[in-house]
Amino acid sequence: MTDLSPRIAEKHGRPCAAGQAARDDPLVARLQSFVALTRADLDSFYATMEAEQPIKKRRDLVLDGYEFCKLGFIKDGFAARYKLLRNGKRQIINFLLPGDMVGMPGSFLDRAPNSVIAISDMTLQVCALSAFVALCGRQPKFALALSWLAAQEAAIYAEHIIDIGRRSPLERLAHFLLEIHSRLNGVGRADDAGFDLPFTQEMMSDALGLSVPHLNRTLARLRAEGLIAVNERRVEFSDAKALALLAQFQPIHPTPIPFAADD
Amino acid sequence: MTDLSPRIAEKHGRPCAAGQAARDDPLVARLQSFVALTRADLDSFYATMEAEQPIKKRRDLVLDGYEFCKLGFIKDGFAARYKLLRNGKRQIINFLLPGDMVGMPGSFLDRAPNSVIAISDMTLQVCALSAFVALCGRQPKFALALSWLAAQEAAIYAEHIIDIGRRSPLERLAHFLLEIHSRLNGVGRADDAGFDLPFTQEMMSDALGLSVPHLNRTLARLRAEGLIAVNERRVEFSDAKALALLAQFQPIHPTPIPFAADD
DNA sequence: CGAAATTTTGATCACGTTCAACTTCAGTGG
DNA sequence: CCACTGAAGTTGAACGTGATCAAAATTTCG
């Protein structure tokens, strides 16, 4: 029904055009795990983008309570979605990594339900939500891709609820490290052995619902038990097997969009 | 681009056809808050449904770790999305109310990341994910609607993270009651004064990351402080103002899908 | 009605918070 | 080059909240 260019004949799950783009665009890398994108698709996608914005560390990207109607895709850098409470406590809901979306769920609601702050220098691709909607009208696969991304987001949040609600601090931290590693790995920002932690302990404690001292001790315990090794912000999984077992970690993999026959 | 029947001429945000359907279908009631649906739209939507399934209380709808590729829409009754951990603890991620979706996010991943169980008798409208995708190819507005629903889901999860992570048990329970009330109200299952609680205290404690005794005491405290009144499973908000202040509750309202000119 | 599930109450204790001090390190300007 | 500053990480001691376990009271349901 849509104008799928017949140029690509490959089977599902193994797209497609533009290995080029995939290499420098983490979002494309993510999308290609569940939807085939032709070069034409990518072109019309990039055409909806307004600009590639550089963002300074510590800049607020979204403000809790305000209307927000852009869609931002992180090309590089890190951010945190959080909420500040009356009592001064902060809960980090999620860390945003390359390939993640900034306007979700804020742009879909009358006002953003939380804030987003850059925790490193970033580069962002931005478009108006209405422009993306228009694109979806022409090519429904993008609307479906959006749903798929949103579902992944929800699945990640669900794990965070489980982390904070019922996992012990040790399991919680183990699960967190594995999750971040898995997500970074999915966009080519980590290797099998480990990754560079882009967060401070204060941020992690605010994400995991712990106090900073306790997070610190818990991290020390993971080290003491020989599960991880940390130096210079780099985390190595000394015993990935045991760590995954401790955390009961199940990686999140999207299923390909089940297009009927063609595609 | 899609066949929007010109039959309806009303302005945005105030749809449209089929007040009939809206009255008995909570999903339609929800959708109409952010997308205009013609009678033709509804017809093609209902046409993708396989069946209207009655479900018995305590039935498992989705099993953690198994592939699941249906989309279920709750017409009536209640369910809980949860995860069972090795240590026997259970975390309820979300309660599913009339108008909620069952296959989110399970059907979008290679395997469901959590289980869903019916906590009352239910009636469910079910379709294959692939059938819904096909519908979206013909009418992109449904794909967008799916994204909007997913974004709402994510926003609700985000609040749960904040609840469990950084709100005191009292604030947490207050927030929970207000959230459920607001969601029930949105599909015509509650009045301004209060609502019928369809959950046991054990379920609520598993949702809020508390022990049953502590949840019970916290509930008693809300009563003692004159914020709510409970009898026969019915919750009345004696002092809704104070309750919302205590919980820092901000209701979640979707913004209309920003279609360009027409529609 | 009887059995099972749910709600309520009580006593004890462990875990994680809080608060405080100290260390380490990177960046900056004198 | 070193002193200064502020941010981040580390360690310790005391306290309090909420878990745990147990049992009774109450309600629901087969």
**pLDDT of B21 above 70:** no
Report the residue from A2, A154, A254 with minimal CB separation from B104. A154
pLDDT per position as a tens digit, A48-76: 999 899 999 999 999 999 999 999 999 99
pLDDT of residue B103: 94
Sort out which chain A residues have CB atoms less than 8 A from B111's CB and list them: 250, 253
The pTM assigned to this predicted structure is: 0.91
C1' of C2 to CA of A127 (Å): 66
Report the residue from A107, A164, A252 with minimal CB separation from B164. A164
**pLDDT of B17 above 90:** no
Predicted confidence band at B225 (pLDDT cuts at 50, 70, 90)?
very high
Q: Do B258 and A161 touch (CB under 8 A)?
A: no
Bridge partners, B54 (sequence order): B123
**Region B49-65 average pLDDT:** 95
**Region A130-152 average pLDDT:** 97
The answer to whether strand D lies under 7 Å from the CB of residue A212 is yes
The answer to whether residues A69 and A102 touch, using CB atoms and an 8 Å cutoff, is no
The answer to whether residues B68 and B116 touch, using CB atoms and an 8 Å cutoff, is no
**Region B219-224 average pLDDT:** 97
C1' of C18 to CA of A35 (Å): 49
**pLDDT of A8 above 70:** no
The answer to whether strand D lies under 7 Å from the CB of residue B77 is no
Q: Indicate the burial class of B66 (C-beta count within 10 angstroms; 0-12, 13-18, 19 or more).
A: exposed
Sort out which chain A residues have CB atoms less than 8 A from B153's CB and list them: 150, 154
pLDDT of residue A21: 55
Predicted confidence band at B232 (pLDDT cuts at 50, 70, 90)?
confident
* Poorest-pLDDT segment among A125-139, A150-164, B9-23, B96-110: B9-23
- With CA of B211 and C1' of each nucleotide, the nearest comes out as D19
Per DSSP bridges, beta strands B234-237 and B194-196 are: antiparallel
**pLDDT of A20 above 80:** no
CA dist B151 → A55, A151, B35, B63, B191 (Å): 25, 8, 14, 23, 25
The answer to whether residues A119 and A55 touch, using CB atoms and an 8 Å cutoff, is no
The answer to whether residues B114 and A117 touch, using CB atoms and an 8 Å cutoff, is no
Report the residue from A113, A138, A258 with minimal CB separation from B250. A113
Side-chain half-sphere exposure of A135, counting CA atoms within 13 A: 23
Percent of chain A with pLDDT over 70: 90
Percent of chain B with pLDDT over 70: 90
Q: Do A144 and B143 touch (CB under 8 A)?
A: yes
Size of interface A-B (CB pairs under 8 A): 204
pLDDT per position as a tens digit, B173-190: 999 999 999 999 999 999
Angle at B129 between CA B91 and CA B61, to 5 degrees: 35
* Poorest-pLDDT segment among A25-39, A140-154, A246-260, B248-262: B248-262
Candidates B1, B64, B109, partner chain A, best to mutate (most A CBs within 10 A): B109
b (16+ CB within 10 A) / e for B87-113: eeebbbbbbbbbbbbbbbbbbbbebbb
* B86: closest CA of chain A, how far (Å): 8
* Token code pair at residue B202: 């054990």
**pLDDT of A12 above 50:** no
**pLDDT of A23 above 70:** no
Helix axes B129-138, B140-166, angle to 10 degrees: 120
Predicted confidence band at B263 (pLDDT cuts at 50, 70, 90)?
very low
